Amino acid sequence: MSISSFHLVKIPTWTAIKGLFSKLISTKTKGLIYSEYMTSMTLGSPIFSNNRFLIREIAIFAQWESEKDLDDFLNNDKFGKLIKKGWHVRLGFMRDWGKIKGYKVPKEKEILENSNSPVVAVTIARMKPLAVPRFLHWGRPVEKLVRDHPSTLLSLASFKFPNTISTFSIWKNVQEMEKMVHGHSKVPKPKRHSDAMKERERKNFHFEFTTLRFKPLSEFGNWKGKGNYTKLSD
């Protein structure tokens, strides 16, 4: 059964820059199905600010044939050993919307233990260049909604030149995440996400887009001085 993983790590500047222009994870890596190397961004930050693009803080989303293949990469590959020093979560597939080239949708689906189990959402979009200004107009309010939401345990955006934008978020439970999606959260301006989705339906921002929902299986390391983001709520 395949497994996905999401990694956050701070790496040397030169390595981070190299990763913008070359593949630090070889497509020939044993068991690797799909991967995205991205630069982290602070949700909701001004477009032209030091906090928007965090060049040394990278995000990697990957899909593997098996957990053993992921372990082999982290323990034996030069770049794998580097990102092992950061934080990562291993993910079991639950459901998807849309499609992104290269990601193989698993036939088997995970089920959460109970209604209070944390859940992970990953979005990946290939932007239409001329749609970027309109996307930012509608997207930044959504970034702030997710960033400030009382039910997010960890949330961030990431970017890969020239046109890939991704978000990653861990939620306390599915119910709170779905309330946010449909504009029913008890927060200021709750319809920011649902309004942006209506605009996307009117005129798409992307030529490829997917939303993936996962069950967090296990978590390793720390990020920003914290860990256990996916610990089951009491």
- Whether 234 shows a pLDDT value over 90: the answer reads no
| Residue 7 or 42, more confident | 7
pLDDT value, residue 134: 95
Mean local confidence (pLDDT), 182-194: 96
Q: What's the predicted TM-score (pTM) here?
A: 0.94
CB neighbour list of residue 199: distance below 8 Å, 6 or more residues apart: 134, 138
Q: What is the DSSP letter of 101?
A: T
CA nearest neighbour of 173 among 212, 220, 213, 141: 213
- Whether 11 shows a pLDDT value over 90: the answer reads yes
Stated as kind and residue range, the H or E segment containing 137 is helix 132-148
The amino acid that residue 23 corresponds to is K
Mean local confidence (pLDDT), 3-16: 96
pLDDT value, residue 232: 65
pLDDT tens digits for range 22-81: 899 999 999 999 999 999 998 888 777 777 889 999 999 999 999 999 999 999 999 999
pLDDT tens digits for range 126-157: 999 999 999 989 999 999 999 999 999 999 99
Mean local confidence (pLDDT), 111-127: 95
pLDDT value, residue 233: 52
**Which single residue is written with the structure tokens 């932007």?**
127
pLDDT tens digits for range 155-183: 999 999 889 999 999 999 999 999 999 99
pLDDT tens digits for range 91-106: 999 999 999 999 999 9
Show the domains of the chain with their CATH numbers: 3-220 (3.30.70.100)
Mean local confidence (pLDDT), 181-203: 96
Distance CA 195, CA 53 (A): 26
| Residue 75 or 115, more confident | 75
Distance CA 116, CA 3 (A): 22
